[in-house]
Amino acid sequence: MSVLRVGNASGFYGDRFDAMREMLADGPLDVLTGDYLAELTMLILGRDRLKNPDAGYARTFLRQLEECLGLAHERGVRIVTNAGGLNPAGLADAVRALADRLGIPVRVAHVEGDDRTAAHPGTLAAHAYLGGFGIAACLRAGADVVVTGRVTDAALVTGPAAAHFGWGPTEYDRLAGAVVAGHLLECGAQATGGNYAFFQDGDVRRPGFPLAELHADGTSVLTKHDGTGGFVDVGTVTAQLLYETGGARYAGPDVTARLDTVRLSQDGPDRVRVEGVRGEAPPPTLKVGLNRLGGFRNEVAFVLTGLDVEAKADLVRTQMEPALGRITDVRWDLVRTDRPDAPTEETASALLRLVVRDADQQAVGRALSGAAIELALAGYPGFHVLAPPGKGAPYGVFEDVYVPHGAVDHVAVLHDGRRVSVSPPPDQHTAVPAPVPEPPLPQPLPPGPVRRAPLGLVAGARSGDKGGNANVGVWARTDDAWRWLAHALTADRFRELIPEARDLPVTRHRLPNLRALNFVVEGILGEGVAAQARFDPQAKALGEWLRARHLDIPESLL
């Protein structure tokens, strides 16, 4: 069958507004997807729904569609999005109303059954990660627009691929290829040079959004529209492939994709071929993300300038101690951004950051806005803060649990109102599959002179969050660099370079086809991004910190 061209116009709720129009106008597409959901987004939409039961979906999508629905209809491009969030039926109705107002004949369907909030009292939002076969049912029945709630990010691509090519639920290699393509598309411009370690290799001032050319055998080519910014090469694709993944198995509701089988090759300018992906049966359970309010949070950053920074920090802590005695969680961080004999006041200053959390909003409000500001004329010399503290804001906690496929009513609500139940996968790994054998290490580089230098001179990295854990994918750009990296960057060495991880479980996975190592650091993000337990709560820059650390690197690589 013909190639299926699937594009992406959103990697998160708040991504480039013009991307939908650009993707429709700048080149041919069959399907345009938009990923609007993340763990934090579900919490935000949950709070929206508390204020208004009719809310709970990504309103940005509706505004984008008002500009673009006519163009999509004219070009015959179908739209598949998880912008439905907590209320896919509500967004589907809103799209119908928009189409009627614009006079555009559009068939709108939606997928539901992911909402498990009633089964988890005390949560603001509890949603199962569904697969792509509900989307496929909607498209097979003729839908032009398909709206979902919480599906896996890759399902936005596996659904259209299964519908277009007629794949069944046990065609695991083909489905796994589509999962990999979906994972590469889901974060938008991250696959076309955005957030890329070697960003200076191309012009990334305004990267175009990516698209995948999918084939019936599950292979694909990752590319972008001609003439758009950014660039696509094996490195940008490797970076996104490693993002927010773990070991060799990438488990989902439709299939378990084997990331250790992926082969990437340059297929021309801004074209990367993705092939060789093998798939296995999915696990017997679905992941359910639970979001709840954890309490209230407040913070203040004291600016410590000039001499005696440590002593000034000690004085602030001592003066604040009486006001913090009843607060449940108090965290102090001294960030030494100062330097001796500094030419500017900013470079002579350090930051002492105080973060407090408690179930009582008034307690966190009083502790900072009262006690901290009262020190203005009674504290250390040069006392000031970056911004006055507020009253305290609610923060969220994320965790995941797992339920059998059969515990969820996965339903495709077709454009004509018919409801089609989506059956659980016919085959599931009911037993824990045998561990994937660890691939052999490459031959080490022969001994030679070394130089102390940053890791990033010879390796790229991309990092991200999964609940309270973080992953850091590190890849080498040459075979010789891989021969060194695979031996030098052990889990123990990772802990040495990232002191926060020294007392945490760190698992290293080898992916030699990608010349890559993937590190999973358990618990480094506390209770997840919404809890903001860390300076970089989503671990977005953890990989760049690692690249900035110095090791003894063979001079032949430098």
Query: Per residue in 66-113, pLDDT tens?
Result: 999 999 999 999 999 999 999 999 999 999 999 999 999 999 999 999
302 and 207: one domain?
no
408 and 262: one domain?
yes
What per-residue confidence (pLDDT) applies to 536?
A: 87
What per-residue confidence (pLDDT) applies to 170?
A: 96
216 and 327: one domain?
no
Among the listed residues 64, 68, 73, 110, the one whose alpha carbon sits nearest the alpha carbon of residue 90 = 110
Identify the CATH number of the domain in which residue 385 sits: 3.30.70.380
Residue 553 included in any domain: yes
What per-residue confidence (pLDDT) applies to 534?
A: 78
84, 148 Cβ separation under 8 angstroms: yes
What is the sign of the dihedral through the CA atoms of 100, 102, 103 and 109? negative
User: Model-level pTM?
Assistant: 0.94
> Based on the structure, what is the number of domains in the chain?
3
Structure confidence at residue 28 as a pLDDT band (50, 70, 90): very high
Residue 345 included in any domain: yes
385 and 471: one domain?
no
DSSP state, 290? E
What per-residue confidence (pLDDT) applies to 520?
A: 97
User: Any idea how long the chain is?
Assistant: 558
CA distance 510 to 144: 42
Among the listed residues 394, 426, 407, 351, the one whose alpha carbon sits nearest the alpha carbon of residue 532 = 394
Identify the residue whose tokens are 């189409």: 99
Identify the residue whose tokens are 């934090």: 40
Specify the 3-state DSSP secondary structure of 558: coil
Residue 527 included in any domain: yes
Asked if the model's pLDDT at residue 279 lies above 90, the reply is yes
Identify the residue whose tokens are 């997807």: 33
What per-residue confidence (pLDDT) applies to 429?
A: 72
Residue 433 included in any domain: no
Domain of 78, in residue numbers: 4-282+400-421
Instruction: Provide the H-helix boundaries in 154-308.
Output: 155-165, 172-185, 234-242
CA distance 430 to 333: 46
Structure confidence at residue 1 as a pLDDT band (50, 70, 90): low
Asked if the model's pLDDT at residue 531 lies above 80, the reply is no
Q: Residue 515, Cα to own-chain centre: how many angstroms?
A: 22
412 and 472: one domain?
no
Instruction: Give per-residue pLDDT as tens, 481-511.
Output: 999 999 999 999 999 999 999 999 999 999 9
The stretch 18-31 carries a mean pLDDT of: 98
Strands 469-476 vs 516-521: parallel, antiparallel or unpaired: antiparallel
List CB contacts of 525: < 8 A, sequence separation 6 or more. 465, 467, 468, 469, 470, 531, 533, 534, 537, 538, 539
Find the angle CA(539)-CA(540)-CA(541) to the nearest 5 degrees.
95
18 and 147: one domain?
yes
382 and 459: one domain?
no
What per-residue confidence (pLDDT) applies to 389?
A: 87
Residue 183 included in any domain: yes
Among the listed residues 155, 34, 147, 149, the one whose alpha carbon sits nearest the alpha carbon of residue 92 = 147
Token pair for residue 159? 């659904």
121 and 238: one domain?
yes
317 and 203: one domain?
no
Cβ-based burial of 12 (10 A; exposed 0-12, middle 13-18, buried ≥19): middle
128, 287 Cβ separation under 8 angstroms: yes
The stretch 239-247 carries a mean pLDDT of: 95
Q: At what angle do helices 133-140 and 155-165 cross, to 10 degrees?
A: 40
List CB contacts of 138: < 8 A, sequence separation 6 or more. 109, 110, 111, 146, 159, 412, 413, 414, 415
339 and 231: one domain?
no
Side chain identity, residue 173: D
Structure confidence at residue 343 as a pLDDT band (50, 70, 90): very high
Could you tell me if residue 181 is left (phi over 0), alpha (psi between -120 and 50 degrees) or otherwise beta? alpha
Asked if the model's pLDDT at residue 302 lies above 70, the reply is yes
Residue 90 included in any domain: yes
What per-residue confidence (pLDDT) applies to 489?
A: 98
Residue 266 included in any domain: yes
Share of the chain above pLDDT 70, in %: 99
Strands (DSSP E) found in 306-375: 329-335, 349-358
Phi/psi of residue 464, each to 5°?
-170, -175
Residue 198 included in any domain: yes
Token pair for residue 1? 């069958």
337 and 264: one domain?
no
DSSP 323-392: HHTT-SEEEEEEE----TT-SSTGGGEEEEEEEEEES-HHHHHIIIIITTGGGTTTSSTT-EESS---S-
277 and 220: one domain?
yes
What per-residue confidence (pLDDT) applies to 526?
A: 85
The stretch 314-321 carries a mean pLDDT of: 96
Strand partners, 551: 453
Instruction: Provide the H-helix boundaries in 52-196.
Output: 59-75, 88-102, 133-140, 155-165, 172-185
6, 214 Cβ separation under 8 angstroms: yes
